[in-house]
Each structure stands twice: as C-alpha cells, then as structure tokens.
Amino acid sequence: MANAMRLCTLGLFLLSCWTCEAGSKVTKAVDANMKYKDPKVPVEDRITDLLSRMTLEEKVGQMTQIEVPVATPEIMEKYFIGSLLTGGGTQPVKDASAKDWVDMINKFQKGSLKTRLGIPMIYGIDVVHGHNNVINATIFPHNVNLGVTRDPALVKKIGEATAVEVRATGIPYAFAPCIAVCRDPRWGRCYESYSEDHKIVEEMTDIVNGLQGDLPPNYPKDYPFIGGKDKVAGCAKHYIGDGCTVKGINENNTIIDMKDLMSMLMPAYDLSVQKGVATVMISYSSINGVKMHANKKLIDLLKEKFKGFAISDWQGIDRITYPPDANYTYSVQASILAGLDMIMVPDNYTDFIGNLTKLVNDKVIPMSRIDDAVTRILRVKFLTGLFENPNPDYSMVDMIGTKEHRELAREAVRKSLVLLKNGKTESEPILPLPKKTKKIIVLGSHADNLGYQCGGWTVEWQGYSGNDRTSGTTILKAITNTVDPSTQIQFSEKADPEFLKANKDADFAIVVVGEKPYAETKGDNLNLTIPHPSQEVIKKSCTSGIKCVVILISGRPLVVEPFLPAMDAFVAAFLPGSEGQGVADLLFGDFGFTGKLARTWFKRVDQLPMNFGDKNYDPLFPFGFGLETKKGDGQGEL
C-alpha cells in the first residue's frame, strides 16, 4: 500500500510539473532536488531516482541507438535518443581530424542535454584493431595475429593504447573485443578471432582491462567498470557461437550441444564479465536454429551474471525473420522479450520507437522489461562519467597515432608473424636475410599497399587499397629502411619476365602477396585459394632461380600446399596493420621469429572444418607450429 501511495504521489507531482503537447513532447519543468545529478550519491540510487522520473517515451528513447548520418541535434532531443554510433567508414567530414570528431559529438550531445531530464547520449564505434575508422590512427594487427603472440600482457597494452585514441576523438564506447572462437576459416570474420582454441581466446580477454581499466580491490562481482577519462566502455562480441557456423557462413546456424557451448564458447564471456566488461553485443547467427537476437534462454543465461547492457548488432533484430524485416513488429517484440536492452536500429528509429511503445502500451511487453533495459543503460552511462562530463574536450586530440602507440603495434607485428618454412632443408635456412647484399627484388601487390596490409575494418568498412588513407609503413618501405644503403632494392607488383630477366643477378626475392581486404559476409570464402594474380607472382618468382621468400597477407590460412615446394622460405604475416617495419625487423634479424600458429593450417578445403584435437587431424602445419630464428643473425653481409 505504501508503495502504491508513493507512486501515486509521484505521479501527481510529475503531472503538476509538465503538460503533454503534440507528439507527447514535454516542457522543461524539473524537480529541484534531483538525486541523479549528484555525483556523491551512489550510482544505484541515482539510477532509481532517474528511472522514477522517466516517461515511457524517454525510456524507449534510451533503448534506441541510431547512426550519425540520420541524426540531428533536434532528433536527439525530440526522440530522447540514448545512443549514437558510427558505422564502418563513416566520418564527420572527409579525412576528419580528432578535433572534427569531438566537434561532431558535442553537436549531437547538445541535443540530448536539451531534453527535459538532460540524459546524455553515449557514442559508440567499432574498434576492431585500433581506432580503425579514424585517419592516422594506429592500426594494430588484427586478432588473428594477436592470438599468435600468446601474450595477454601485450594485448592488454594494445587495449590501453586503443582506449586513449578512441577517447582522443571524444568517444566513450568501443565495440570491442571480439571473443569469437573461429572454428572454420571460411568465415569472413575469422581474422577478428584470436584462435580456434578457446583457451587462447580466454587469455586475450585481458584486453577488457586494457580498454576499461583494472578492477579496484573488492569491486562488486559482475558489475561494469570504466576506470577514467582515458578508458572506454567495452563490448564483448558476438554472443554467442558466431565463429562456429555451418561451413563458416556469416550469420549462419551453429549446431552445438549445451556442454560444448558452455565449455568452449561461454568461458570467454564469463571472464569478460568478471573483468567488468560494460556491454555485450548479440550475434547475428543462430544456435541450433534459434536466432540469437531472439534467444531468451541464452540471453537470460548471460544476464543472470551480468549487470551491463546487451546490445543488438547492426539491424540485428531485422534478421530474426526471413526475409529480413518481414514482420518488424514481431522482431521488436521477440528481441526485447528475449532480453536485448539497446537496439542498433540504425536508421529506422521511428518504426522501432513506435512499435516498442505500442507493444508496451498494449501490455505485450511488460514495463518491468523496459525498466530492466533502461536501468542497465543508465548504469553504464553513470559509470562512464557521462553525467558529470557529457561533452568531450580537446585535451587528448594529439594522442592519435603517437610514436609510443606505433612502437607498440610494431612489437605486436614482430610477435605475431609465423615462420612456416626456412630453407629447402633444415640445414640451409635463408632467414634472417643479410642487410648488406648486392640486390634484393621485392614483388607482389601487397608489398607497397598499406590498405592491403591492414585488411578490412580500416578507414572503410571493407578496407581499402593504397597508401593515401592513413599513416603507416608499408613492407617495401620497411625493407628499404632496414637494408644497408649499398643494397639495391628493385620493386615490381607483377613478376613480368622482363623484370625478372633484368634482375636475375638479385640475391633474394621477397614476394608479398595475399587477399584483398574484406569484412563480414563479403569475406566468406568456400575455396580459400590464393587470389590471382598472387598465385602467378609466386610461381614465376620462385622458379626464376632467385632464392624466394614468400610473405602471405591474409585473414586466415589459405591453400598453399601446391606452391610450398618452390618457396625457399614462407612467412604467414596474416594482417599486420599499419606498422610494416615489424615485418622487416624479423626478415633481417633485428629480432627473431617466435610466433606459433593459433589456427590449424589445412592442406585442402575439403578437410574443413578441422581443428586441433579432431579425430582425423591431418594438417599441413599443425596448431602451435612455428619455426624460430635468433636475433642478430642477419646483421652481416652475403
């Protein structure tokens, strides 16, 4: 009875403070004693106070995340939008600086702060391998590389550096890390996975503390933590099973029993939650035929031990039906009842808001489910410090692509390359190469192409080709920087007979070839062959009579067995990112190769899926394989 009286009194008070207008817009009358605005009040009390003041429209707005191109400050205010995001390749202006990003975010935040309760929006962005949307940011090696390092401390440092660069642009929320366990390299997102081995993936969850900060002693269990102005709210993704789909097809079905799901896929999420991860993104894929965006059983399992919020993927709820968006009302209903808290719309916000509001008013979705979602969203906003500091400043704009961060990325490159062959026989290694020799020829489409070297999710969603979109060092430039000034370097993308004939006196050929950039479904590949013309460059270069070192740039293992006999040395560089100097550090012996495969290298595609521990395990190079060299071996002359 007391609760009912209190709610009634609160309702009468609120009615006295504002009157409804067209479109349910309200005036700015507010209670002078707003506990939620007092930073000295405990966070949970602030949430309770603020939630008690909110209308249904304000709550639904908080659950809505829209993309920048459709947003305006007026829309942020009118619809009480809770979050904005930048999709892959979207920028405030062409070649935007860090200051341009801060300016844009402040513009939109101004609209949010003009709402009746002044709830700040939270801005999120994909951070796949560094602050990859931003020109001149440090582009770290992709996760497929980082698993090779077996170095959680290094990965944590990468998280710390990434958080600083993200905050430099005024952004407090990063969609990272991806903790998928990729069990089939045909998957177009395989390079976003650290390993086929769930234990390596679990070790790499230390990146959560790099992004968000180390938990203080005796911090509440399973409670989000964001440790200051140079940290960001993280996002463990994609819950759950996205790396195990049938034939590696993106957004496909994962067939798995509960025992394997709990022992192989769930531990990385449990660890991320224990380390204070702020949010979890739900997967496009299905588990045993049930779309994860509508999988109440598994989302409940997550949220029983997780106090942050669950967010959809891009238009993820649309995929609940087939074809997508066939019944949008049902998709809204199924996703919210399943336990999703924030929906990445990203442009159809009026339909989402209208449908969700009606479903609540019609009592299809209970208000308790809405309050749970908004409580979790507000919790992350309070912990991120947005209520005290909603507007980013310019104090960190010089932290994009710093020398310290690039040196860290270079270290990650050195530790993440795998030497798979070194010499025609074990007694005749050719790596490391001498820095002082007569002539080295460098060939291949990937030798002098920073975009190819970085891969997908670099400036553009699908990546790019060329050297003009971001800063870094190509492998060709790195080789030139490293060798003795007397050593001649000749370069050609193609292995033309004329070029090879003119340079037949070369001591070595360094061939840098591989896949062109891709992301998500566009990277799905059922054949996994080395693309043309890279195959031809390998064949011609490695049969020309010149000793041949092949460096493969790829997001996963590819079919190399037919070409391997002709190679004198073979290096799996995967997707090393912007700091190609790390490649030359190994080729010429300034550091030794130490990387060990975190994925099985298959012989033929018809063996897939094939992972370490499988019954009929017959790889070309097994999980954990990697030859080593010693530092300093390449300092001399030929």
Q: Which residues belong to the active site?
A: 313, 520
The tokens for 298 are 């598994």
HSE-CB at 474 with a 13 A cutoff on CA atoms is 23
How far apart are the C-alpha atoms of 567 and 538, rounded to whole Å? 8
Distance of CA 433 to the CA centre of its chain: 35
Closest CA to 116 of 43, 61, 41: 61
Classify 158 as helix, strand or coil: helix
Cα distance between residue 444 and residue 550, in whole Å:
10
For 120, the token pair is 């700040």
3-state helix, strand, coil in the chain (%, to 5): 40, 15, 45
Q: Using alpha carbons only, what angle is made at residue 86 by residues 460 and 244, rounded to the nearest 5 degrees?
A: 70
Token code pair at residue 241: 């099973």
The DSSP element (H or E) to which 578 belongs, if any, is none
SS3 for 18-53 is CCCCHHHCCCCCCCCCCHHHCCCCCHHHHHHHHHHH
**Residue 409: closest CA among 446, 441, 349, 450:** 450
Rounded to whole angstroms, the Cα distance separating 312 from 336 reads 10
**Cα dihedral 365, 370, 376, 381 sign:** positive
Residue 470, both tokens? 């971001």
C-alpha to C-alpha distance for 443 and 543, rounded to whole angstroms: 14
Residue 387 corresponds to which tokens in the numbers above? 């209520």
Prior bond of 120 cis (ω within 30°): no
**CB burial class (10 A; 0-12, 13-18, 19+) of residue 219?**
exposed
**Angle of helix 328-338 relative to helix 367-384, nearest 10 degrees?**
70
DSSP state of 220: P
Q: What is the 3-state secondary structure (H, E, C) of 364-427?
A: CCCHHHHHHHHHHHHHHHHHHCCCCCCCCCCCCHHHCCCHHHHHHHHHHHHHHCEEEEECCCCC
**Residue 414 to residues 264, 363, 409, 418, 419, Cα–Cα distance (Å):** 29, 58, 9, 9, 11
CA neighbours within 13 Å on the CB side: how many for 377?
31
Other CB atoms within 10 Å distance of the CB of residue 594? 21
Report CA-CA distances (Å) from 548 to 305, 350, 433, 440, 510. 54, 59, 11, 10, 6
Amino acid present at 110: K
Both structure tokens of 232: 């960001």
Q: What is the DSSP string of 288-307?
A: TTEEGGG-HHHHHHHHTT--
